[in-house]
Amino acid sequence: MLKNMFVGYTPISANILDLDEAFRLAVELQLDFVELAYDLQEILPSSQPVQKVLELKKATGVGVTVHLPYLELNLASLFEGVRKVSVERMQQAFEYTASVDALNSVLHGGRIPERHPLIVQAAKGQLLKSLEVLKGPAIPVTLENTHINPLEFLKGKDELEEMSRFAGFGVCLDVGHALIEGGEEQIEAYWELSHITHLHLQDSLGLEDDHFALGRGKINWQNQKKHLEGFSGTVCLEISGTADDVRHSAAFLRELLKD
């Protein structure tokens, strides 16, 4: 594809839970990485053990990125016990990303129980406390835009910028999430950030978190083309469905970016 761009995909969203199969599809599609899910690793430690990941990387030449944990985890939690355990789990995930020598990783900014000004203010304090501990990681971390409903804490470009800069993280732009948050204009607004180093590409009808194959939702990919052409970093096809939906999306992206 483009010379400053590494392209990969997320096996777990395409319902591929077997690690050998995950790398096989990346090889077939000539992709640069697979995005491992640390949540899966916590639930099933035999699914992506470090040694096996290192062996597959060596055998195939395919790298990895890691989606850091977010299930039952909340770095902005108002409940101190929940927040502390969330930070501990994140630190363990950081050790994992270092052990597998990930190219990049993705972190979510947490959730709130209600969008009330006092709660938003308190959650911000809690998230800053968590990020203070997680600052300056060995493997790059990107903070993802996840505002697909009012209870996802970080909202808009400025908050994402403030929190990611505070922690020394890059930004992961998920174009489907941005479409839900505020349509094509919101995607454009996020692209103004200068430290986007990871992308989640997925298509969406703009109402729910669809993760459709590229071209099967409402995103205007011609609008995305100019941004993609100037982008340096890791680009992850985060597609729900099956291996065929990933195949379709990889071909779609190649066609979009040819010549």
Instruction: State the Cα–Cα distance between residues 199 and 4, nearest whole angstrom.
Output: 13
Q: Which of 32, 39, 152, 174 binds Zn ion (CB under 5 A)?
A: 174
Q: Closer to Zn ion by CB, 210 or 238: give it.
A: 238
- Closer residue to Zn ion in complex, CB, 83/200: 200
Binding of residue 67 to Zn ion (CB under 5 A):
no
CB of 20 to Zn ion, least distance (A): 24
- DSSP letter for each residue of 201-217: E-B--SSS---BPTTSS
Q: Binding-site residue total for Zn ion (CB under 5 A)?
A: 3
Q: How far is the CB of 118 from Zn ion (least distance, A)?
A: 29
What residues have CB less than 8 Å from 34, skipping those under 6 apart? 8, 9, 10, 11, 22, 23, 26, 62, 64, 65
As given in the structure block, the two tokens for residue 91 are 């630190």
Does 200 contact Zn ion by CB under 5 A?
yes
Report how far apart, in Å, the C-alpha atoms of 174 and of each of 128, 167, 209 are.
22, 19, 11
Q: Which is nearer to Zn ion, 29 or 37 (CB)?
A: 37
Per-position x/- string for 111-130, each x denoting binding to Zn ion as judged by CB under 5 A, each - no binding: --------------------
What three-state secondary structure class fits 220? coil
Q: Per rule CB under 5 A, is residue 203 in the interface with Zn ion?
A: no
Binding residues for Zn ion, per CB under 5 A?
174, 200, 238
